[in-house]
Amino acid sequence: MTHARIPDLNGRYDLYGLIHKGLRKAQCELLARLGSADFDDAAATAPLLADLRTILMLGASHLAHEDRYIHQPLEARVRASTDRLEHQHDDHRLAFAELEDMIRAIEEAPLDARASLGRRLYIAFTVFVGHDLEHMHEEETVTAPQLWANFTDAELQGIEMAIIGSLTPEKNLAFMRLMIPAMSRSERAALLGGMKVSAPADAFAAVIEFAARPHLSREDFCDLSSRLGLAA
């Protein structure tokens, strides 16, 4: 466990904050659902396993984005700056493969073996989440200051735009579904307010209808609507 000082943002561009909030929320909710699941009820656990697969897929995608769009340019300016993170990413990829094997084992197991396989999956996922929470902490306390010291905010925003530009519309919506409910009301209004003026109207409408409205409380969606001037 690292105990690095948690740096203030000081108005700098934060590449990690919102996506990490989304990943933390989604992973912790899944962890709780895995703990309370009756794995011998195949019909009831099918949506849970599907949601877990989605998070593993988005997690793998997130690692690939960081490798290509953050680590490569950072390495070009600060040699060996991402060695530890790369090792952690390799460990995560291994964990994703092992977790997928465990999911498949449950799906293919006879009914009387599912509960113990479910317990194995639950415990393995808790370990992965623990490692990922520490990994994200390192990125936000060690890597972020390195980025601020070596890149301008315009360059960091360019990195984020390149990541977003690499996403299919479906994957963009999937990430938005994670992130939008996980952030504060003011962060949500700032993110989606920026999207409202810069993204194509149909893409913005899809984010509102498929990522924001179904995944926010009535109160949070009303707050967003009034801040962005959306039609009711």
Residues in the chain, overall count: 232
Region of 6 on the Ramachandran plot (φ > 0 left; ψ -120 to 50 alpha; else beta): beta
Question: Minimum CB separation from Fe ion for residue 53, in Å?
Answer: 20
Question: Minimum CB separation from Fe ion for residue 143, in Å?
Answer: 8
* Among the residue ranges 43-51, 61-69, 71-79, 195-203, the one whose residues contact Fe ion (CB under 5 A): 61-69
Cα 63 from chain centroid?
10
Question: Minimum CB separation from Fe ion for residue 56, in Å?
Answer: 15
- DSSP code of 184? -
Looking at beta carbons, which residue is closest to Fe ion? Answer: 66
Closer to Fe ion by Cβ: residue 66 or 140: 66
Closer to Fe ion by Cβ: residue 147 or 192: 147
Q: Residue 88 CB: number of other CB atoms within 10 A?
A: 19
Count of residues in contact with Fe ion, rule CB under 5 A: 1
Q: Do 84 and 138 form a contact (C-beta atoms < 8 A)?
A: yes
Residue located via tokens 């994200």 = 136
**132 touches Fe ion by CB under 5 A:** no
Q: No. of H helices and E strands in the chain?
A: 11, 0
Question: Minimum CB separation from Fe ion for residue 231, in Å?
Answer: 38
**66 touches Fe ion by CB under 5 A:** yes
Closer to Fe ion by Cβ: residue 44 or 76: 76
Which one-letter amino acid corresponds to residue 119?
A: R
Residues that bind Fe ion (CB under 5 A): 66
